[in-house]
Amino acid sequence: MNLHLSLTPLLSLLAGILILIMPKLLNFIVAIYLIAIGLVGLFGAGAIRFN
């Protein structure tokens, strides 16, 4: 049985939980999320593999 994980849904889930717990972190979470998605877009997700 193989389990394939994507980075984007995991980051979204983590960001949503943190925002619910501490709403004041919203600006930082959104900034970190956007930076991470930008880096994945620039460098490609092909190099990142979770096995």
Q: pLDDT, tens digit, for every residue of 7-50?
A: 778 877 887 888 888 888 788 878 887 888 888 888 876 555 55
Judge residue 5's burial from the number of C-beta atoms within 10 Å of its C-beta, 0-12 exposed, 13-18 middle, 19 or more buried: exposed
Do 33 and 11 meet the contact criterion of CB atoms below 8 Å apart?
A: yes
pTM recorded for the entire structure: 0.48
